């Protein structure tokens, strides 16, 4: 809501003040955001699996299954990044003073 009432945001005035929306870049940006979240979750799952392995909580069969699953997920992520023309760096959001979101693999 604006102070002007009516519930509409004010429009930019004058030539050249329009927002350029490119459907292709919006799709790529959305894909990058979704893949960033998936990559973050993949890294967290991998770290948790390593902790469980180190703690001795998993059977040999379960370790093998987890390894195959994580490798398949990483391969699929590579395919999706390639499909959308994204590099691993494109998914690593800079959090300013906190540093990058994703850890290097």
- Domain limits at 85? 24-92
For residue 78, being part of any structural domain is answered with yes
Per-residue pLDDT tens digits for 67-94: 999 999 999 999 999 999 999 888 888 8
Residue 32 lies in a domain: yes
Shortest CA distance to 84 belongs to which of 11, 7, 25, 20?
25
Amino acid 12: pLDDT: 44
In a domain, 72, yes or no: yes
CB 39 within 8 A of CB 93: no
Q: Residue 18's pLDDT is what?
A: 52
In a domain? residue 5: no
Would residue 69 count as lying in a domain? Answer: yes
99 pLDDT band (50/70/90 cuts)? confident
- Could you tell me if residue 73 is inside a domain? yes
In a domain, 105, yes or no: no
Model pLDDT for residues 14-71, shown as the tens digit of each residue: 444 455 567 767 888 888 889 999 988 988 999 999 999 999 989 999 999 999 999 9
- Tell me: pLDDT of 9 over 60: no
Q: How many CB atoms lie within 10 A of CB 91?
A: 22
Answer yes or no: is 17 within a domain. Answer: no
What total number of domains does the chain contain?
Answer: 1
């Amino acid at each position: 809501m604006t102070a002007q009432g009516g519930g509409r945001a004010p429009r930019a005035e004058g030539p050249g003040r329009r927002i350029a929306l490119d459907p292709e870049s919006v799709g790529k940006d959305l894909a990058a955001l979704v893949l960033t979240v998936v990559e973050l979750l993949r890294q967290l799952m991998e770290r948790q699996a390593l902790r469980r392995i180190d703690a001795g909580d998993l059977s040999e069969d379960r370790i093998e299954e987890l390894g195959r699953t994580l490798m398949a997920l990483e391969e699929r992520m590579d395919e999706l990044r390639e499909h959308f023309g994204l590099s691993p760096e494109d998914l690593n959001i800079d959090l300013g003073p906190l540093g990058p979101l994703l850890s290097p693999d």
